[in-house]
Structure 1
Amino acid sequence: MNLDLVVTDARLRGRDEPVAIGIASGRIVAIEREIAADAPVRSAGGRLLLPGFVDSHVHLDKACLLGRCGHDHGDLKGAIAAVSALKRGFTEDDVLARAAACLDRAIGHGTTRMRTHVEVDPRAGLRSFRALKQAKRDYAWALDLSLCVFPQEGLTNDPGCEELLVEALRDGADLLGGCPYTDSDPSAQIDRLFDLACAFDVDLDLHLDFDLDPATSWVEEVCRKTVETGRGGRVAIGHVTKLSAMPREAFEAAARRLADAGVAVTALPATDLFLMGRDRDADRPRGVTRVHELAAHGVACSVATNNVQNPFTPFGDLSLMRMANLYANVAQVGPEGFGACLDLVTESPARFMNLGDYGLRVGAAADLVVMDAADADEAFASITAPLWGLKRGRVSFERPRPILNRP
């Protein structure tokens, strides 16, 4: 067998015995108990091997803003306004430097695929988009970066915004986002976004229903438009915190509707926890949608980073294992559900992002990460750090185990 690399003594989820992974031309070509080949060998040391993590919703353009503004805005509107004032002064070099700091961390935590939302409007212009196009090129050796351009502050109420979105789509944006709850006419924004997505044949990923009032919701409208335009499997919605406040019957009805329409859902625990329920003096709700329960109804779901060290979320390290573990704590998921939560940062987001070459199987890209644990439950429960990883069969990072200097 003509191979470029063999990873030996690797433990995979669902297999009792360690295996060897044969890699050629950046792809997995064999998974066997043993592989004999004249190729370099790298041992996983009997540790868990996972496909690289998939971060389906990040905002690199407005990350790492601590110190540039106050962080006592108190709610979503205040955070949007604070960043709106700052982004007028963003330069391409500034955005690229802050994005690079995040990407460095993400790669070191085992992320190999990422979708970043990019604000495009008359205040930001195309500066952030151009900077992240450069980041996409600069980091292709370790991470596939997908650019989702969107109007953070409204579309129908923001003259000139649509023209900039169209320019970005013509200039290589990978998909289109939206934020109907900031628009003076949310329904009109949804309609226009679907029109643009169809015209440019790109996927949609919308910020939606980001509050705790279950009496009103735009989920049904998005599902209806998805079915009407035949875009099932190509539409995602993020936050959707209203679902966390719905009674069981309404939640399950929404789950069935989302599954039938082919609309994916992303929970963003750090931001959702930080911003939701701040108007309550006591008994504050968690405000995080139970996406593992939606997944059990057949909805493609994920847990993702969202904002990092800015007015929306003044912390973050780009570790998806930590984020999935945080989600499990918030959603009160015990060991029986650890595997399902791990899927929320691996297989499930890869599915709705239509990453056809993803996974731990023959034919998939050799985007792999070795965790410092013997199995998935141990890795998840202890928020285990990765030891090293591969991008298309090349070692992209290494994180040595700490050395304890005992007396």
Structure 2
Amino acid sequence: MLIKEVRFYDDNKVHDIYVENGIIRCIDCQGKKDDYVFYGKKRLLIPPFVNPHSHLGYALTLNYGSVNESGTLREGVIKTREEITPKITFDDIEKRLKKLEKLFFVNGVLYVRSHEIMPLIFYVLEARKKLELINLQIVAFPSPGIFYFEDTIEKMEKALSEGAEVVGLIPNQEPTVELGIESVKIAFDLALKYNKMVDGHIDENDDPNSRFVEYVTYEALKRKWGEKTTISHMTASHSYPSDYFGKLVDLMKLAKVNVISNPVVSTHLQGRYDNYPKRRGIARIRDMLKSGINVALGTDNIGDLIYPLGDGNMLRVLQEAFLVDHFTSKDIEGMLKLVTYNPAKILMLDDYGIKPGRKAEFVVLNAKNEYEAIRNILPPALVVSGENIAENEIEFKINDKDVTGEIENLLDSDF
């Protein structure tokens, strides 16, 4: 397969790329005469999207239970645990995972991290073996908390020994602050025992006094586990006083921890207990990026009682972050890294990127530059993963006249 005239994200230059037997053989060279040729039309080519935060075990279960009347995280979690989880079987998870991997693949998402609750994680670990289009990393997630059930730690250890790559935690939902702090220590004990990464739901609320990020960060610093540690959500940071936030950021930089924000779902969930003015709490993405912290974006929930919508489009997630956290046009350059290189670092992907000799994994966007990609949030024109290929080239016509190029690229410039 020869992909002609695509603009590489890394150097902003137009190249050809030749793929044979699922491997990138060479760049700017000729393929065999009988090879399939894809004409990129100078569209942007990027490494695959990485979705570092999701919940696939109960994704697409919106019609499995009663309606989340309040729209709150609390009601969604309780109904998921009490109404939906008991109905889920292995066959059900396997069927939904196969559907989800197709959804992600056509959107150019080849790597996903999913937080799985204890009743479902063993089904997901088994069903993962049959996935062919995406790579799935699994977090042993002790929702509603480590200290609610006597056998939670035992089940977490079983999941970690059976292949879960990440230790989860949720300290702000533990019965007391003291037990929340203790749960942080337990999570790191498990991570060091099994040599696993850490990724916790931390301070996912609008409470300015919810400050477990500092405990997680200090534990990571003390144990030299910072680059393997990720703080997910951190929505309370939008309610923190700026002087405290500044001190916290300094500690996070010292520890080298990562952060994942899920702006679409967090915007939907947060502020539900407010009267007006109503907060739309998400992590302070822009501020942390400017401070040098590695920040990535995830989809979080898709089609369940916690978030009823969702489509796997990482450009939509990126656009939502731009909107809600008050990015400006001068911030656009480099934003695609929040859904590519930055989450790849979090998942510790060793061979991520486009180089000859590597497995062919890349996405050709329906846009010629970063600005247009984030503005139009169209699905990719081409997705390649080894010998698996998805083509989604979109055509727009008015009175049979092709206006696709104008719609894809409104500014008609390299921005």
Same-fold call, TM > 0.5? yes
Q: Which position in structure 2 is the counterpart of 1:312?
A: 306
Task: Check the 8 A contact 2:68/2:75 in 1, yes or no.
Answer: no
Residue type of the partner of 1:70?
A: V
Supply the distance in 1 between the matched residues of 2:142 and 2:171 (Cα, whole angstroms). Answer: 9
- 1:5-404 equivalences under 5 Å are 5-13=1-9, 15-23=11-19, 26-31=22-27, 34-38=28-32, 40=35, 41-67=37-63, 68-85=65-82, 86-120=84-118, 124=119, 128-140=120-132, 142-184=133-175, 185-362=179-356, 364-392=358-386, 394-402=387-395, 404=397
* Residue ranges of structure 2 left out of the alignment (5+ in a row): 401-415
Q: Structure 1 residues 216 and 281 mapped into 2: Cα distance closer, same or farther (>3 Å)?
A: closer
> What is the CA-CA distance between 1:36 and the residue it aligns to?
3.0
Supply the distance in 2 between the matched residues of 1:61 and 1:205 (Cα, whole angstroms). Answer: 17
TM-score (norm 1): 0.91
> What is the CA-CA distance between 1:24 and the residue it aligns to?
5.2
SS at match of 2:226: coil
Per-residue displacement from partner, 1:248-287 (whole Å, max 9, x unpaired)?
3322322221121121111111221112111122111120
Supply the distance in 2 between the matched residues of 1:376 and 1:169 (Cα, whole angstroms). Answer: 38
> What is the CA-CA distance between 1:311 and the residue it aligns to?
1.9
Moved more, 337-346 or 324-333: 337-346
Supply the distance in 2 between the matched residues of 1:130 and 1:355 (Cα, whole angstroms). Answer: 24
> What is the CA-CA distance between 1:156 and the residue it aligns to?
2.1
Supply the distance in 2 between the matched residues of 1:347 and 1:363 (Cα, whole angstroms). Answer: 19
Residue type of the partner of 2:154?
A: E
SS at match of 2:348: coil
Supply the distance in 1 between the matched residues of 2:220 and 2:356 (Cα, whole angstroms). Answer: 33
The percent of aligned pairs where both chains have the same amino acid is 24
Task: Check the 8 A contact 1:64/1:308 in 2, yes or no.
Answer: yes
Supply the distance in 1 between the matched residues of 2:273 and 2:246 (Cα, whole angstroms). Answer: 27
SS at match of 2:51: strand
SS at match of 1:390: strand
* Residue ranges of structure 1 left out of the alignment (5+ in a row): none
Supply the distance in 2 between the matched residues of 1:293 and 1:12 (Cα, whole angstroms). Answer: 28
Q: How many residue pairs align between the two structures? A: 393
Task: Check the 8 A contact 2:140/2:164 in 1, yes or no.
Answer: yes
Supply the distance in 2 between the matched residues of 1:383 and 1:248 (Cα, whole angstroms). Answer: 32
> What is the CA-CA distance between 1:201 and the residue it aligns to?
0.3
Task: Check the 8 A contact 2:108/2:363 in 1, yes or no.
Answer: yes
Supply the distance in 1 between the matched residues of 2:212 and 2:367 (Cα, whole angstroms). Answer: 42
TM-score (norm 2): 0.89
Q: Structure 1 residues 21 and 119 mapped into 2: Cα distance closer, same or farther (>3 Å)?
A: same
Task: Check the 8 A contact 1:389/1:397 in 2, yes or no.
Answer: yes
Q: Structure 1 residues 134 and 390 mapped into 2: Cα distance closer, same or farther (>3 Å)?
A: farther
Task: Check the 8 A contact 1:290/1:331 in 2, yes or no.
Answer: yes
Moved more, 222-231 or 362-371: 362-371
Supply the distance in 2 between the matched residues of 1:16 and 1:160 (Cα, whole angstroms). Answer: 53
Supply the distance in 2 between the matched residues of 1:345 and 1:134 (Cα, whole angstroms). Answer: 27
Q: Structure 1 residues 262 and 28 mapped into 2: Cα distance closer, same or farther (>3 Å)?
A: farther
Supply the distance in 2 between the matched residues of 1:329 and 1:303 (Cα, whole angstroms). Answer: 14
Per-residue displacement from partner, 1:268-327 (whole Å, max 9, x unpaired)?
112211121111221111201122321221211111100112221111111111111111
> What is the CA-CA distance between 1:25 and the residue it aligns to?
5.9
Task: Check the 8 A contact 2:218/2:251 in 1, yes or no.
Answer: no
Task: Check the 8 A contact 1:8/1:44 in 2, yes or no.
Answer: yes
> What is the CA-CA distance between 1:58 and the residue it aligns to?
0.5
SS at match of 1:250: helix
Moved more, 86-95 or 65-74: 65-74
SS at match of 2:332: helix
> What is the CA-CA distance between 1:74 and the residue it aligns to?
4.0
Q: Structure 1 residues 16 and 94 mapped into 2: Cα distance closer, same or farther (>3 Å)?
A: closer
Q: Structure 1 residues 175 and 44 mapped into 2: Cα distance closer, same or farther (>3 Å)?
A: same
Supply the distance in 2 between the matched residues of 1:344 and 1:16 (Cα, whole angstroms). Answer: 18
Q: Which position in structure 1 is the counterpart of 2:411?
A: none
> What is the CA-CA distance between 1:227 and the residue it aligns to?
1.5
SS at match of 2:351: coil
Supply the distance in 1 between the matched residues of 2:251 and 2:26 (Cα, whole angstroms). Answer: 39
Per-residue displacement from partner, 1:197-221 (whole Å, max 9, x unpaired)?
1100000100000112223401111
> What is the CA-CA distance between 1:16 and the residue it aligns to?
4.7
SS at match of 1:88: helix
Residue type of the partner of 1:81?
A: I
Moved more, 185-194 or 356-365: 356-365
